[in-house]
Structure 1
Amino acid sequence: MKHKNNGKRYNDDFRKMIVDLYDSGQSVRNLSSEYGVSEVTIYAWIKKLTPMDLEDGSSITPDDYAKLQKQMLKLQEENDILKKAMAIFAKK
């Protein structure tokens, strides 16, 4: 059953399915040959989609962690802008 994608764009469901198959015991080599995805790509998906355990017992994927960091930096920047605006309005 070949699922070759000539555009080299795979949707999130397909990536998750490949990672789930890997987690269930299939080898990367077999998944690569069966689905027409390079082994390097599969290893990248595994790294990106495999959850990390946190100290509080919950887990998060590296991808979600990166999104949260990006959001935090944006909020910090917005907060700094608001502080500067408050200082300007306080002087008036």
Structure 2
Amino acid sequence: MVDKRKSPRKFDEEFKKSIVKLYEGGKSQNALANEYGIALSSVARWVKQYSEVKIDDDTILTARQIKQLQKRNLQLEEENLILKKAIAIFTPHSTND
């Protein structure tokens, strides 16, 4: 018996970004999936991954960059908490004798 499942196709990043640009230009995810023969779940994932967000100073970030910044922020908050605890431990307490 022959396995009829298709092996997953690989799309390069530029292709994915071009699909997202078409979506941002007004095409629906369903239309893009049908037109290019891509799974709807792939289109949805690419839109989530590559859609851009413009912030106050006209900087543009992708969802991936925002996720990386959130991860870095969490790491820095944890480091900050550790340093605060270390300062509390190693700073002599003043006594009013």
Give the TM-score taking structure 1 as reference length: 0.69
Deviations 1:23-66 (A, max 9, x none): 257851222x1xxx311211220221011111111110111101
Residues 21/44 of structure 1: CA separation in 2 closer, same or farther (3 Å cut): closer
Identity of aligned residues (%): 26
Residues 62/41 of structure 1: CA separation in 2 closer, same or farther (3 Å cut): same
> What's the Cα RMSD here?
2.7
Q: 1:60 matched to which residue of 2?
A: 61
Count matched residues. Answer: 81
Structure having the larger proportion of residues in helix: 1
Structure 1: state its 5+ residue gaps.
none
- Ranges of 4+ aligned residues in structure 1 off by more than 4 Å: 24-27
Structure 2: state its 5+ residue gaps.
1-5
Q: 1:90 matched to which residue of 2?
A: 91
Letter in 2 for 1:48: Q
1:6 is displaced (CA, Å) by 2.0
Give the TM-score taking structure 2 as reference length: 0.66
Q: Answer 1 or 2: higher relative contact order, Cα 8 Å, separation at least 6.
A: 1
Q: Which has the larger radius of gyration?
A: 2
